[in-house]
Structure 1
Amino acid sequence: METKVKYMWVVVFVVSMSIAGLNGVDATHDYYGPCGKHDIEKEAQKLAPCTYAAKYWRAPVSERCCTIIEKKLNNSGYLCAILQTRTVYDAGVRPEVAVTIPKRCNIAVRPVDHNCGDI
């Protein structure tokens, strides 16, 4: 009798871990989004050196901003997600100006067909 109870607990444990594991695998991509496990608001704060250039068309873009943007350009979805954060909105950034920063930095390899929704 005691063996059956132990066996039942092992089966329950294995089944519950399998269900939890499968749910985590299916939902991981949708849950984390384009920035992976990073907090999108904190990632937006890292782009603070670009704030002034992202507000005004004719503002000079700092070298530090260009360096940061060049590192982040490998994932245009990441930058688009950041442009839609509360941090960016509160900073007064104009997304239609912000998307011009890679060109203004003379970055040779930039995403040509990126689409940030309504931006």
Structure 2
Amino acid sequence: MQAGEETGGDDPQGDDPEYEFPNTPQTLADVGSWCHWRHYITKGGVTYYPDIDEDDEQQQQQQQQQQQQQDPVLELTRAAADDPPVAENIPAWVRHDEEETEQQHSEEEAEEEEEEEGEEETE
């Protein structure tokens, strides 16, 4: 292949001729266009569950199956839009401490103003 030849589609790897890189701000702003590319870490701190051996005791097998059902390992390329909300129905990818920070900042400013007014009255 010579330099400048098309490999088909916009796929930089040339693997998928129908691949189109999302190149508009609207497409990139849509959460549905994004996916994860890191292994999901369960609450137990694992990225996968080992296969259950038939030689293991029945009780141990049941415990491991129950743990897998309660805290499953998610797919590597899962959609970001499918993430469960973190708190107060806020999506996981939204930084939700900004409101608290702004509120704390406003409260601190109000306290400072009250202190300044109190100092002016005593003078």
With the length of structure 1 as denominator, give the TM-score of the two structures. Answer: 0.22
Q: Return the structure number with greater relative CO, CA threshold 8 A, min gap 6.
A: 1
Larger fraction in helix: 1
Q: Which has the larger radius of gyration?
A: 2
With the length of structure 2 as denominator, give the TM-score of the two structures. Answer: 0.22
